[in-house]
Structure formats: structure tokens, C-alpha cells
Structure 1
Amino acid sequence: MFGRLTVTVLAATANALFSPPTQHVLAPHHEPPEDESRYEIVTHPAFSGYRLRVTKPKLCDPTVKQYSGYLDISEHRHLFFWFFEARESPEDAPLMMWLNGGPGCSSTTGLLFELGPCSIAGEGNSTNFNPYSWNTIANMIFLDEPIGTGYSYSSDASKVDTLSDLAVDVGELGRALWPEHREPHIQEEPGDRACPTFASVPDYMCGSAPYPPFPPDGPECRSLKRETPICAALIQSCYRFTSRVTCNPATLYCWQRVYGPMAATGLNPYDLRIPCDPDSDLCYPEIEWIQTWMNDPANKKALGSILWPRPSDAQQCCTIAGVSRSWHAAISLCWEHRWSMQLHRIERWMSQLEHKFHADFELAPSQRWKTSETGKIGGEVRSAGGLGAGNVTFVQIYDGGHMAPHDQPEVALDMIERWIKNIPFVS
């Protein structure tokens, strides 16, 4: 039904950034049995434990073929998906999966706000055609995961406690839809514990950020430099002796003492250039518009949904956006202006990865690349291994926050097209 799987993309959109999160738990949905007459039921004898409940909506971009509905991975666990065929040569285009991060953020965020076939508009009452959608070049599937996220649900007391549980559910989807792919590609990996990223916060917030919010010798920076080592020690204790006794205090302390000063500035944590919208929990009013649109009864019926999407109470986590083109290639995407995923720290992380191209990557220069469409300078790239887009590649997108496909749609599409088609970033 969905073609061959050659590319998988996972991307992160964090939950409410500055409220101490609930630890490791997603509340399950409990719903009465739904009317199945509106679905096409798809089963396969090789996967007797699974079934697809499919509808064929004509929303968002009616010019392409669409499927949506549920993969029932067990009697009580149900994952919602929405598939769009590629606008260009869908029979030859790769299949790309988009998962928003968190974990616990609905992938309709990426679909309707960043890179999907349409963009939310009119305070949630309409959508606009997106000419820079990634389904221009790839068949796209957007998945709500884990259960309890967006339209995905459990019909009993099932819940997702850890990332291991989440991985099992998503793995079941892959095995059911693409049985020839027995192992996962390299993916983005959101962490389910407090992240060891706080140590770089003082340097970034007090000088190295493109728009540092605090003066280097100000009281905020003095406090950050004092509190960050304590935070780092608590995180190491969490990693060495993993339990709620060690990890919960680390999370709460670091959120309040290290992330707290940033929250007080009112700046958008996803884009330091702009203030956070006071009427939105995630700083962008469009996020609330998405909930309005997805909660419209006509849209829900067309999509085969039985639920309304809601903000998750999942834990905030540390994520790196990673895309795998093949078994031996990995790319890391970076945004200039997101403070909680600083580009310098991510580049250092890339430099510490162990692989056969490590020495070449360390020597690779950072070069600017231009988009194919207009010749716009999109950002900088470091690459090593092989021809084309490289086997290990670090991409920095200029003038983009965490929602880079929203901020720089032409650049983001050019980047992913080069990666998928193995086109050199710099000729």
C-alpha cells in the first residue's frame, strides 16, 4: 500500500519547555468501541496479530492520494497514521516517516506547521497549500506515537512507561508495513532521562549564542555558572544509579535552576530572535490552531479518528534530529537560534561519534551551500565519506529556529532533497 521504505526521518518538537514534566508516563486514552463500517480493514496472513483500519481522506492536499487511520498493533493498542503520496513520481519516490518528538507530541505538528502538504491558517479554520512540503519528493507518513499521543490510543489500561516500550510499538508498525526491513535505520533518539546538556548552557546563554539573552557579567550568568555544576553532578548520579530517587531530583533541579532563568526572559526557546506568544503553551499560536482543526468533527470523520488530540503530559527530553539515508549514512540537522539544542554542542557531539569516517569528518571544512531553486545561501555543511551528500554530514541552517522547515521552507526542502538523492551540498 505504501511502497518501499528507503528513508526515515524523525524530528523533535518539545513539549511545554519550562514546566517540570511528569516522569515517564503517558496517560492512556480509554474509548468505547468505534463504528468500523467507515474503515477499509486490511490484514495479512503473515501478520495475524495486526490489522490496518484505513480511510481515504481528501484533506490538506486533495491532488495526491492519501490514506489515514489506525494500525492495530494489538487488541488494545492503536497507532494513528496519515499518509500522503509524493507529488512527483510517487511510484519511484522513497517513503519517509516523520515522528515529532517529546516524546508525546503529535506528528500533526510537523504536518500542519512545518513540512506537510498544507499549513494551518485562519486560527484553525482552514489550511493553505504548502509548495515546500517534503512530499514534493517523497511519500510521507506521519505517525502519532506513543499511544496516548494525538489520535493514537489504548482501549485498556495500557500505557507507555519508557522509550523501550515506545520503540516496541513503532517497531511493530515497521514490521507490519514493511516486512522486508527487519532492522531499524539510524534514527533520532529522544532521551527519557534528564539530558547531559546543561553544562553548555552558561556559555551559550552568556556569549556564544547568536542572540545571547544575558550579559556575561550579569547576575543571571553568575547564577547559571554556580548552579550548572550542581545540575551536572545530579545528572551523572541519575545515569550511574538510574531510578526515580536520583533522576526526579536532577530533572526538577535543573529545570528550575538552569532552565528557569531563560523562561523568565519571555523569549521563544525554539527561536531566540522572537518573544514567546503569551497565549500559547508552545510559544506559537499555530499549535493551538492545529488542535482546533484536528478537532473539527468533519476532519475527524474524514481521517477515521475517534479521538481529539490533546497536549501530552510526557516528559521533556533531549533530542537530535537525525536522518538515515542508508545503513551507512547519517546526517545531523542543526538550527542557529534554538537555545536548548545549541548548534556548537551538537557539532561537538558529532565530532565525538566513533565511525570509520571520524578522522575525515574532523578535518572536513565547514562550507556554505546554496539552494538549487533560487541560489539562496541556506547554511553551512560539513561532510565526510563517499561522494554526493556524504556518509556523515552536519548541516547548519541559517536564520532558522527549531521549526526550521517553517522558518526556512525552501532551504529545508533543498537540504532533504540533496540528502535523499545523494546530491552534493557543495559542488
Structure 2
Amino acid sequence: MRWSRSISTALLAAVAQTVVAAPAPSSSSSHLNKRYIEERDGIAYNVFEHYETASKMSFVKNSGVCETTPGVNQYSGYLEVGKNMSMWFWFFEARNKPAEAPLVTWFNGGPGCSSMIGLFQEHGPCQFYNNATEPSLNPWSWNNYANMLYVDQPIGTGFSYGDDPVNSTVTAAPYVWNLLQAFYASFPEYACRDFGIFTESYGGHYGPEFAHYIQDQNAAIDAGTVAGEKLALKAVGINNGWFDSTIQERAGIEFAIGNSYRPLINESTAAALYDVFDKRCKPALDKCVATGGDAECADADSICINEVDGPISAATDFDTYDIRQPSKDPFPPNTYVDYLRRPDVMQKIGAKVRYESCPNAPGVGFGRTGDDARSFLDTLSEVVQTGMQVLLWAGDADYICNWMGNLHVADAVKYANATQFGEAGMEDYKVAGVAKGQFKTAGNLSFMRVFEAGHEVPYYQPEASFQVFMQIMQGEVPSST
């Protein structure tokens, strides 16, 4: 999820944090790595100490929680990505041919929202059906096709705990790379596999930056200036992403008056908000871009939140993540939160702290640096220019990172096929002959609008989501069945 505007505004007033760089890997031989079993608090952890990133991974194998398909392995636990920084991960092998399947990492947004949201509410091996208090197998889980790694970052998110030096998308990337390096070292059988990054919401920042950082590290490994395992990054998928405030703040007004469900504001309010955008919000965002200053970017974020988004949210009662729902009725239901807080479940999976889905603390630094207002459109363009498959897709009932804004972002991407993409028309995306959305493609960039879906697209359209996920990871563009 992307923060609600009221939360991020409050965070702008907190005290600044000091940036601490992630530890740089150094050249060494793999024989310096260590493996052993360690029992702590009644939990037997498999421990792997990774010399090159000075990190320690502690995990439980086959907890029996969530994924109960016979013969499918799972691993859950922590990686020490820095001093007093324990990052939570939960890995599920593919249900089909795991030795051949690609590896995909999932990040929820926020900043500061747990990837357990994606695991339990969207596309993980299990979900809660019909008000049940125990999860059942999800037939459309993405681990039907891929080996799936879910990560809670930055520190303080979900089950992750310790000191959190991360205060921006850019400072988050090295810690994610450290986790992936330690993961590959601990599970070398996944090295050289096709690798994908899928994310949503604030993932419009995370996805481009993490992909770009990985590509830079790959180049440094080739140049001999960094020791590590290259990641065969083949695809990036971002649904309902927040990429560029200048484009998407204006699109919020466009969506509020012109979405296909119900107008959230009237014509006169829309006209007034466009005027506010032009005179107050956009100039502040322009100043953020021009100066790059933390104060200017935080100020721009605050102005746009309070003077553009605020009046829209106050105009009528709606859930910003699904405008068809009332604001006080969380949807999808948060049953999984109570489940993950159960002592017996925590014991089984090796969790050490009380689960929090979207705590405020991890995003304090992001609010201070005005990270929300910073554009990652140029970074996205650079990623697309490398030729990997990139999918931007969005549920059309989501307001906060709506499909209109995501389409405008896609149209603004600079790459070899940009003109062709801009001129392309939308066509139906079908699953077994039934239209589930519309899409367009040129070269290696695709955009998709998903019908009857809110912010967490796979929850609403699981079959269509699995189909397009599999197509993108296979190096293909979306195509109907």
C-alpha cells in the first residue's frame, strides 16, 4: 500500500534521522561462509553466515504454515542486513518444477507496509476465505509458477526489527541487494535463474530503483569492483504504482471526476482543484525537482496532500484503495494480521516481534526527505531501455494510485518504442475468452487496466493476475487466452 495522506502529513513533522550506508561487500572465498543450527527461545534456526556481506541468515524450514502442498519447501526468518538490522523474509518454492522455475521477489509499498499483505491477501500460497480464521491454499498462488521471496523492508516493517537507517528509496536499495546476495549464497541452486521484481503502490518508487541498483551492481561485478552474485533480472511488474507526483497528482483529479464507477467530486470542485494544482501543487513539485532539497520536496508533498488530495477525500465517503467500499470498512479483510500475531504461528515460522502491517515508524525518514514527491520516471525509463519486460498495471477502482495516472506515466516513459507505445490503442485482455481488462504494448513495455479491481489487484482478479504474471516472467508481452 501507499500511505494514506493523513499519515504521511503527520510524518513530515518528525525529527530527521541519520543516513547509514549499507555495508559494502568485499572479495573473499566462499569457504569462509558458515552453516550451523542454533536454538533461540525454543526455535531451532538454520543459520548461514555470509562473509561477503557480513550478514547472518537465520530461518526455519518447512513450518507447515500457509503452504501445505505436499513436497513444496518453504523457509521463513531473518537476515541481518546491517548492524542491529534484522530483515524478515518468507520464501516459497514453486509448486511445479522448482529446480527450473524463476525466482521472483515481492515488495509491498507504504513506505513501511509489509509484504505479508501481498502474501496473505493477494498472490501467496494461502488466503483466508469465507471469514475463516485459518488460511486455505490459494489455487492461483504465484508460486504455482515461480519460486517466491517475500521481503519486509525497510527495518521496522512487518516482522522486521532493529535500527532503521533507511530514509529514502535510494538508501533502501543496498539493503535489499544485501539480502538477495545472502539468499543466493545460502541457496546457490537459485543462482543464474531468471529473476523478477514485482511490487505495488510505493513500488512505483521501489521497483525502478531496486532494478536499477541491481543492474549497477551487476555491472560492478563484471568490472571486478564489487564481489557478489549477478542477478539475472529479466522482468519488473508494478501494479497501482506511485512513480511521479506531478503526473499523478493531476490524474487524481481526473480520476475523481471521470472514473467508471461514480464521481467522487462535482465539476465545479474539479475545476477549482485543477486551479489549485496549477498554482500551488505543481510549482512546489517543480521546486522539488529543481533543487532536489529535502525541505523543498517535503513541502511539495505536504501542499499537494493537503490542498489537492484532502478535498477529494473529504468530498464523499470512500475507501481510497477501492472507491466502491466505504472508508471505515477495510477491504480486503485483515484476518491475516491476527493470525500472524498468534504465539503458536510466530513460534512455527520463527518470527521474533509482534507483526505490524503498516507501522508509521519506518516511513518517518521518507517523509523527512520528501521521498514521496521525488519522481522515479527517469529511473523507470532507464530500466525499460535495458530491454527487460516491464509491466505497469492497475486496478481501475483504486483512487490513491489510479489507473489513469499509471497510464500517463507509461506514456511518458522514454525508450526506443515510446512513439509507438503512445499511439497504440487499448485492446481487451481476456482470460478464457472473458475480458478482464485492457492493455497496450510496444516493445518491452506494457500497460494494463484491470477491470473491477482495487489497489491489491490479485485479490480481485486472481486468475487474470496469475496469467499476466506468468507471461511477463516468461519474457512475453500480455496476450489473451
1:160 matched to which residue of 2?
166
Gaps of 5+ in 1: 1-12, 386-390
Structure 2 Cα separation of the partners of residues 320 and 129 of structure 1: 36
1:226 matched to which residue of 2?
275
C-alpha change, 1:141 and 1:159, in structure 2 (3 Å) is: same
Shift of 1:186: 6.7
Q: TM-score, normalising length from structure 1?
A: 0.82
Shift of 1:336: 1.3
One-letter identity of the residue aligned with 1:72: E
Residue-by-residue CA offset, 1:276-313 (whole Å, 9 max, x unaligned): 2x25xxx33623x2321111111111111111122321
CA contact (8 A) 2:285 2:297 kept: yes
Shift of 1:68: 0.5
CA contact (8 A) 2:243 2:409 kept: no
C-alpha change, 1:394 and 1:48, in structure 2 (3 Å) is: closer
Aligned partner of 2:287 among 220, 231, 237: 237
Q: Tell me whether 1:133 sits opposite 2:179 in the alignment.
A: no
C-alpha change, 1:209 and 1:249, in structure 2 (3 Å) is: farther
Structure 2 Cα separation of the partners of residues 337 and 331 of structure 1: 19
Structure 1 Cα separation of the partners of residues 286 and 154 of structure 2: 27
Q: How many residues of Structure 1 are paired with residues of Structure 2 in the alignment?
A: 393
Shift of 1:185: 6.3
CA contact (8 A) 1:124 1:290 kept: no
1:286 matched to which residue of 2?
333
One-letter identity of the residue aligned with 2:474: K
CA contact (8 A) 1:69 1:82 kept: yes
Shift of 1:398: 1.4
One-letter identity of the residue aligned with 1:175: Q
2:153 matched to which residue of 1?
145
Q: Tell me whether 1:382 sits opposite 2:382 in the alignment.
A: no
* 3-state SS of 2:449 partner: strand
Shift of 1:247: 3.0
* 3-state SS of 2:463 partner: helix
* 3-state SS of 1:272 partner: coil
1:5 matched to which residue of 2?
none
Q: Tell me whether 1:342 sits opposite 2:402 in the alignment.
A: yes
C-alpha change, 1:327 and 1:35, in structure 2 (3 Å) is: farther
- Percent identity for Structure 1 against Structure 2: 25
Structure 1 Cα separation of the partners of residues 320 and 472 of structure 2: 28
Aligned partner of 1:352 among 389, 399, 412: 412
Map residues 25-424 of structure 1 onto 2, 5 A cutoff.
Answer: 35=41, 38-45=44-51, 47=52, 49-56=54-61, 57-63=63-69, 64-120=72-128, 125-154=133-162, 157-178=163-184, 179-181=228-230, 197-208=248-259, 210-217=261-268, 220-229=269-278, 230-264=280-314, 265-276=316-327, 278=328, 283-284=330-331, 286-287=333-334, 289-310=335-356, 311-313=358-360, 314=363, 317=372, 328-371=388-431, 374-385=432-443, 391-423=444-476
Shift of 1:259: 1.1
One-letter identity of the residue aligned with 2:265: F
Shift of 1:361: 2.0
Residue-by-residue CA offset, 1:164-183 (whole Å, 9 max, x unaligned): 22111101112222343258
Structure 1 Cα separation of the partners of residues 439 and 96 of structure 2: 27
- Superposed CA RMSD in Å reads 3.2
* 3-state SS of 2:455 partner: coil
Gaps of 5+ in 2: 19-38, 185-227
Richer in helix (by share): 2
1:6 matched to which residue of 2?
none
* 3-state SS of 1:38 partner: strand
C-alpha change, 1:398 and 1:123, in structure 2 (3 Å) is: closer
Structure 1 Cα separation of the partners of residues 448 and 440 of structure 2: 7
CA contact (8 A) 2:89 2:151 kept: yes
CA contact (8 A) 2:389 2:475 kept: no
Residue-by-residue CA offset, 1:235-255 (whole Å, 9 max, x unaligned): 222222343432333222222
C-alpha change, 1:204 and 1:161, in structure 2 (3 Å) is: same
* 3-state SS of 1:340 partner: coil
Shift of 1:349: 1.8
CA contact (8 A) 1:79 1:144 kept: yes
Structure 1 Cα separation of the partners of residues 446 and 168 of structure 2: 30
Residue-by-residue CA offset, 1:88-133 (whole Å, 9 max, x unaligned): 1111111111100111100001111111111135768321221111
One-letter identity of the residue aligned with 1:118: C
Shift of 1:196: 5.0
CA contact (8 A) 1:163 1:192 kept: no
- Say which structure, 1 or 2, has more relative contact order (CA 8 Å, 6+ apart): 1
